[in-house]
Chains A and B, each alone.
Chain A
Amino acid sequence: MASTEGILRAGVRVAPRRGLPPWLLIAPTLLLLTVFFVVPYVNMVRMSLLVKPAIGAYEPEFTLANYARALLDPFHWRVMYRTFSLAGVTTALTLVVAYPVAYHLTYAPRRRQRWLLMLLISPLLVSLVVRGFAWMILLGRVGLVNLTVQRLTGHELVLIGTPAAIVIGLVHVYVPFMALAIAGALQNIPPELIQAARSLGASPWAAFRRVVWPLSLPGVQAGTLLVFVLAVSSYVIPILLGASNVLVMPMLIVQTLLDAFNWPLGSALSMVFFGLTAGVVAVYLRLLARGMPWTRA
C-alpha cells in the first residue's frame, strides 16, 4: 500500500535510480569557476600584499608597501580621475544617444524590430580592435572627419590622441548595450498605462515624463551601470584612439605588470581601482533606489 502510494505521489518527475545524479551537470562548470576564477582572484589579492624584489616578479613576503604606493602616489590618482571622468562622460553620452534608439525599437512594428535588432547587435559581434581601427581611420589625419573639416573651414581637426576620440569610440561600442538594457525595461511597460495617462489629460510628452520614463528607470540603471563598468575597464579603445597621449588605469596596470614586471604593485593597483569602482557602483545603486520608492514598498 505504501509503495503504491509512494509511486503515485512521486509521479514521473522522480528520476529512477538508473539515471545520473543531477549535480554532475554543474560539477565541471563549478570546478572551472573555482580553480580558474575564484582562486586566481584570491591569489591576486595575496599577490598585492607581497614584496616586489629587484629581480623577479614577486617574493613570498608580506608587506603593505604596494598599497601605500598605489594610494599615496598622486600620479595614480590623476590617472584614476581621468579614467573615471572619461567613463562618466561616456556613460552620460551613451545614455542620451541610446535612449531614443531603445524607445524607437520598443514601439516599432514587429517586422521592423527584427531588422533594427540586427543593426544594433551586429556591431557587438565585431572585435574591439576592428572597431577601434575603424575610428582610427575616421578620426585620423587622412580620416573623413579631418578631410571634411578641412574642406569646410580650412583648419585641421585630428581627433586621434585626444580624450574626445576615446569617448567617441567608447560611446560607439556601448550604445547597443545601453539600448538593449533600456529597451528591455520599456518592453515591460503595458501600453494601457500610456493610454490611461493620455485619457486622463496627459499630452504625449507628459505621459512620457510621468509614466514611461520613471518605469524605464530599472533599464536605465542596468544600462548605465553596465556601460560605466565596461568603460572604466576598457583598454583597446583608449590605446588605439588615445595614441599614447591619454593614459587610463587599465593601461597603467598592464604596463605595470608586463613592462615593469611588477606584479605586486599591479595587483594592488587593480584592487584599489576596481574596489573604488565597486564603491562608486554601490553608491549609485543606493541613490537610484531612493529615486524609485515603489520598488521597495
Chain B
Amino acid sequence: MSSITLRGLTKRFGAVAAVQNLNLEIQEGELVTLLGPSGCGKTTTLRLIAGLEVPDAGEVLFSGRPVTALPPERRNVGIVFQSYALFPHMTVWQNVAFGLEMRRESARLIRDRVGAILDRVQLRGLGDRYPHQLSGGQQQRVALARALVMNPAVLLLDEPLANLDARLREDMRFYIRQLQREVGITTVYVTHDQAEAMVLADRIAIMRDGRLQQIGPPEEIYRRPSSAWVAEFVGLSNFIPGRVAGRENGLLVVRTAAGTFTCAGQAEAGADVLICVRPEALRFDDTYPNRLRGTVRERVYLGNLVDYRVEAPGGLQLRVQADPSWAVAPGGTVNLSFDPSAAWAVDAREG
C-alpha cells in the first residue's frame, strides 16, 4: 500500500498541454476520483501514475519513493482499463494468473491466490471461460481480479464502468466501493460522471484543461465549490451576481440587483462575486432571511421532484427544484427564500 504524490507534473502532446503543473497528494488507502470533462487530462494523469506515459516535467512518488523513471512493469500498479483489456486468447484463470506468472511465482501460490481472488469476485467456476463468453459485468470483475491478485501498491481505474448499462453501472459502483474498502488499497478512479464520483470517492479531484481545480470530500466540493465552473460541473446551480459590501456574523453581505443577501464565502469587501445557490436550496416561502419574489415561467414534473424556472428581479433566471407537494402553478408570482449557510460566494471572474 502506497501513498501517491504528484509534483509539478506536466505532459504535452505536441502543442497541447494535457497536464500542467499538477500537484496532488493521495493518502494510503483512500479512493480519489479524478473528475472532469473529456480532454481535461484526467486519463493522462492516470497513465502518468501508471508509467504508461513519461512526463515532460515533474515527478511521481509512491510513499515518498520516486518512480518517475520506472516503467510500468516495475511500479507494481494494478490497472483496470475502460475496455477491460482482457487477453482474448486466455481463459479467465490464465488472465488472472498472468501477472503472477510474470513474477515467476510458484504454481502452488498461483493456484491459491487466483482461486482466492476469483472467489472474492464471485467468479469461481468460470475460470475456464474465455472473455468473449462472459457478460460485461463479469468481464469487469475479471479485470478487477487480475489487477488485485498482484497485491499492487496502487489501483488505477480508467472509467471502468463506461461500457455498462445504467442499472449495472449503479450496482457495480457500490461493488467497487465495497471491494476497495475491504482491501484497503490506495485507488485512483477516473470518471466524467459526477454522480459516480460522489458515490465512490473519499475525495474528488476536479480537473479542467490539465489543471487541478479543486480537491476535497464530495460534500465540500458540492457545498463549497472553488469556482463557478466547478459549481456547474458538479450538479446544477443558480448564480446571483453581486458585490460584497462587508461581513456580518461570519457571513458575507452581498448587494445584488434582486436585493441584499447574506451567504457563506471567503471574498473581500468590494469584490464581485456570484452567489451560488443550488436549486433545492430555494424554498417557496419566507423561512430564510434571503428573500426574493419571482414569477414562475415553467414547470416540469420529474416524479420525485418538480423543476421550475422562475424569473426574478434583475433579469435573474432561477432554477428551483422542490418536492411535488408544493403546488405552484406557472404564471403565478411566488416568494422564494434560501438559507445563507447553504449559499456560497464564488469569484465572479472566470477562474
- Which residues from chain A sit less than 8 Å from chain B, CB to CB? 190, 192-193, 195-203, 206, 210-211, 214-215, 292, 294, 297
Closest to B149 in A: A200
Residues of B within 8 A of A201 (CB): 73, 99, 102-103, 150
* Contact (Cβ within 8 A) B130 A297: yes
Tell me the bound Cα distance from A211 to B102 in angstroms: 12
**B88 contacts the other chain (CB 8 A):** yes
* Contact (Cβ within 8 A) A294 B52: no
- Which residues from chain B sit less than 8 Å from chain A, CB to CB? 50-52, 71-73, 75, 77-79, 81, 83, 85, 87-90, 98-99, 102-103, 129-130, 132-133, 146, 150
Chain A binding surface SS class? helix
* Contact (Cβ within 8 A) A196 B90: no
Closest to A215 in B: B89
Residues of B within 8 A of A210 (CB): 98
A297-B52 CB under 8 A given contacts A190-B85, A195-B79:
no
Tell me the bound Cα distance from A184 to B77 in angstroms: 31
Residues of A within 8 A of B103 (CB): 201
* Contact (Cβ within 8 A) B98 A215: no
Residues of A within 8 A of B150 (CB): 200-201
Tell me the minimal C-beta distance from B129 to chain A in angstroms.
8
List 8 A-B residue pairs with CB atoms under 8 Å apart, sorted by A's residue number: A196-B79, A197-B87, A199-B50, A199-B79, A203-B73, A294-B89, A294-B130, A297-B129
A196-B85 CB under 8 A given contacts A201-B102, A201-B150, A202-B102:
yes
Tell me the bound Cα distance from A195 to B83 in angstroms: 12
Tell me the minimal C-beta distance from B192 to chain A in angstroms.
18
* Contact (Cβ within 8 A) A198 B71: yes
Residues of A within 8 A of B85 (CB): 190, 192-193, 195-196
Tell me the minimal C-beta distance from B70 to chain A in angstroms.
11
Q: Which of A190, A199, A211 contacts B73 (CB 8 A)?
A: A199
Tell me the bound Cα distance from A193 to B95 in angstroms: 11
Closest to A193 in B: B85
Tell me the bound Cα distance from A224 to B72 in angstroms: 35
Tell me the bound Cα distance from A297 to B88 in angstroms: 11
Tell me the bound Cα distance from A146 to B108 in angstroms: 60
Residues of B within 8 A of A292 (CB): 89
